[in-house]
Amino acid sequence: MFFKQFLVKGMGCLSYLIGCPMARKACVVDPKRDVQDYISSARINGMEITHIFETHIHADHVSGNQELRSRTGADIYFMEGSPVRFPHKELKEHQVIELGNVRLEFLKTPGHTPHSMSILVTDLGRAEEPWFVLTGDCLFVGDIGRPDLAGKELIEEQIKNLYDSLHNKLGGLPANMEIYPAHGEGSLCGRGMSSKPNSTIGFEMAHIPVLGLSFEDFHKEMTKNFPERPKSFSHIISTNMEGPPLLERCPIVRDLSPVQVKNFMGNGAVVLDTRDTAAFGGVHIPGSINIGLAPQTANWIGMVLEPESELILVVTGEDAYKEMTNQLHRIGYDNIIGYLYGGITAWQEAGMPIEHLWQISASRLHEKLSSGRYGHLFDVRSQMEWDSGHIKEARHLPLNILLKQIPDIPRDEEVIVYCGVGYRGNIAASFLQRHGFTHVHSLAGGMKAWINAGYQVEK
């Protein structure tokens, strides 16, 4: 049996290529939208991709099932009843499909979504019993799937289903059976996933705290706050239900002159500046949003920008452009109408208006706080980060809250924001600038710089 796990870093998406080289057949489970990795790997190992399986309708990334089918002719499979509106085949519980020495058995494991499934995998060349199980978004390494994404009206049913799937379906499997989930560290489909790519049923049942709770206590835990649902999730779910457009049908990206960028902005286009915090702070296009290339870029884009936005990119070069467009396509942000040719230098040389986002050093911020000569200081980190230690004079305003509720303060007063290392601080500061705040600073290096400079924190 051939088996390979694929990871999308930052987003934590895990997908799988499983096959039998002797039979020259393979399947892909939960494919990402950029599918060349699967095709190349299958070819190298002498296999043809004949089946595509989706453990559920994903909320955090656009599926590659249409892309993969268009290039291989493989059929797409969902658990019966899944509300997808494109040609596919349905699976029934305990149905078995064999690809040479690979046997796949499908289990209904609802809870994360109403039609989620898990897949028992057997290598018939070694044994008759299943070797491992692909658990989708039901059971992760270190966590379980969140039940809230299907909507408030289904939450009670989802919690019951999740409890049953975890304890009676997956929990009933042998303790030494390996598990391979659809997500790992970095995903927003859970609350505390491990970076380890796989585990066993027994270890997770013993060491995930919520799995030791009674149903009543489990219910209480599952109705507590989950990670903020990005703006992109509803768009991604809808896209995956309808069938994602092929990438070749996405708008043709153009290199744009400063005048063209200005005109597109006048018609509502959003400038996404992907440079680092210092470069953006030095000079940028007024009204642009700074979300630099980083492991969590796609998640933050999904928090900040509307999925239907027409986007113009400011990038440092061709490699950065390719990486950012790839990340945007993964979450269904396909309206990329162009990039600023020549970068910010071309914009300045054209005599266009510019703006600055001054980075304030830890020492300068300390001086301002000590003298009392400062305006508003906001900590945009998470509650857990805030509780672990913060600057005494700061007010807590998590970035996900700030993006939905702009501070009710005069927009000409000084605002200083900080996060862990400066990345989220610049997102927040550029967002505030876009909404008319004229005197915004970001703490260079964030809380890390403050602590390393030896300044006091409060808990």
Q: What pLDDT is recorded for position 231?
A: 86
User: Position of tokens 């560290």?
Assistant: 185
The answer to whether 393 touches 418, Cβ cutoff 8 Å, is: no
How many residues are there in the chain?
459
Same fold, 2-230 and 358-452: no
CATH topology (fold) of 2-230: Metallo-beta-lactamase; Chain A (3.60.15)
**Domain coordinates in residue numbering, the chain:** 2-230, 250-349, 358-452
Give the whole-angstrom CA distance, residue 246 versus residue 62: 11
The answer to whether 233 touches 302, Cβ cutoff 8 Å, is: yes
CATH 3.40.250.10 is right for the domain spanning 250-349 = yes
DSSP collapsed to 3 states, the chain = CEEEEEEECCCCEEEEEEEECCCCEEEEECCCCCCHHHHHHHHHCCCEEEEEECCCCCCCCCCCHHHHHHHHCCEEEEECCCCCCCCCEEECCCCEEEECCEEEEEEECCCCCCCCEEEEEEECCCCCCCCEEEEECCECCCCECCCCCCCHHHHHHHHHHHHHHHHHHHCCCCCCCEEEECECCCCCCCCCCCCCCCEEHHHHHHHCHHHHCCHHHHHHHHCCCCCCCCCHHHHHHHHHHHCCCCHHHCCCCEEECHHHHHHHHHCCCEEEECCCHHHHHHCECCCCEECCCCCCHHHHHHHHCCCCCCEEEECCCHHHHHHHHHHHHHCCCCCEEEEECCHHHHHHHCCCCCECCEEECHHHHHHHHHHCCCCEEEECCCHHHHHHCECCCCEECCHHHHCCCCCCCCCCCCEEEECCCCHHHHHHHHHHHHCCCCCEEEECCHHHHHHHCCCCCEC
Query: Please, what are the averages of pLDDT over each run of 10 residues along the chain (459 residues)?
Result: 94 95 98 96 97 96 96 97 97 98 98 96 96 96 88 88 96 97 79 86 96 94 79 93 86 85 96 95 96 89 94 92 92 93 96 95 96 95 94 96 94 96 95 96 96 96
Bridge partners of 139, per DSSP, are 144
Give the pTM: 0.87
Give the whole-angstrom CA distance, residue 312 versus residue 335: 9
- The CATH classification number of 358-452 equals 3.40.250.10
Q: What pLDDT is recorded for position 190?
A: 60
Q: 318-330 and 297-304 helices cross at what angle (nearest 10)?
A: 60
Q: What pLDDT is recorded for position 193?
A: 80
Q: What pLDDT is recorded for position 251?
A: 62
